[in-house]
Amino acid sequence: MNSLEQHLTGYLAVRRAMGYKLARAGKLLPQFTTWMAERDQSLITSELALEWATCPPATGSNWHHQRLSVVRGFAAHLHAIDPAHEIPPADLLPWRARRAVPYLYTDTEIQTLMDSARVIPTPHRAATMRTLIGLLAVTGMRVGEAIRLDRGDIDLANRLLIVRDTKFGKSREVALHPTTITALQSYLARRDRPVPPEPTTAVFTSAAGTRLIYCNVHLAFKQIVAHAGLHPRSVNCRPRPHDLRHTFAVNTLLDAYRISENPAVRLPLLSTYLGHVHPGSTYWYLQAAPELLALASDRLERHLQGASR
């Protein structure tokens, strides 16, 4: 193990102890230290960091900037230990903040996705994706939260899911409809559930019986989307698993408008249910729904008309 690798172990440990998950850094920085070792380099310079960050072909995204940003954090840590390490300037690579436009699913499309899970080769894997898609649709959970669920996190008596240590270190309880409880019980009771080489408490398991991996969920979801015949609505609006969360949030607010409930009252509850730190974070999920914006505009117009009388 070279000096950079040793420092990297300490850097990741310290940052994670502070509550940072560092999933991306945990994958990219070992690649960077290996790349540096292959070139017999032990000091980070802006030139080397830039060369590594721009190694992959351009993808039209901010990927090069993100790679450099990961190295910058590590370099800042090393610079405090040895000033000979350079911290790459923040503006060394251009970038533009960009978020995908949410693909808001209709109820029919969600059902079609669940039915299309049969395209996955083995019955257990197909049942896994069908149940996972259904759970994401009715709870608004993050994909990572769902695949980290253990059997002990399902409280059958109180119809709850316990979502532990999620983004920002928060844990929460998610209320479930009886039909969702039934679906989870049926999935867990399948006789074709693979037996893993090592015992696991995971709810959602792979064909090998091990806990699902995030990237494999996305690959399977792409297969399902193609089989379901769902197409991008624009360059930046493509069906993604995370958009089930957007759809849940939008539908929750739409229900409030439709029953004449004050959406401002429901928003903090929705924010808590989704596991957001602040209700302001929830607004992002709501700004891409024309129907929701129309209802909000109509409500505002009625309020202004009443105020002018």
**Residue 102 · residue 241 · CB < 8 Å:** no
**Residue 109 · residue 79 · CB < 8 Å:** no
List C-alpha distances in Å: 75 to 39, 149, 241: 17, 35, 34
- The catalytic position among 16, 39, 167, 190 is 167
- The catalytic position among 118, 242, 266, 299 is 242
DSSP string, 191-215: TTPPPPSS---BSSB-TTSSBP-HH
Annotated catalytic residue 285: yes
Annotated catalytic residue 118: no
**Residue 110 · residue 133 · CB < 8 Å:** yes
- The catalytic position among 72, 148, 245, 246 is 245
Token output for 269: 């509850």
List beta partners, residue 155. Answer: 160
- The catalytic position among 11, 105, 187, 285 is 285
Annotated catalytic residue 242: yes
- The catalytic position among 85, 125, 148, 276 is 276
**Residue 144 · residue 154 · CB < 8 Å:** no
- The catalytic position among 142, 148, 246, 273 is 142
The single residue listed with the structure tokens 């409030």 is 256
Token output for 271: 């924010």
Token output for 264: 């401002």
Annotated catalytic residue 142: yes
* Residues acting as catalytic residues: 142, 167, 242, 245, 276, 285
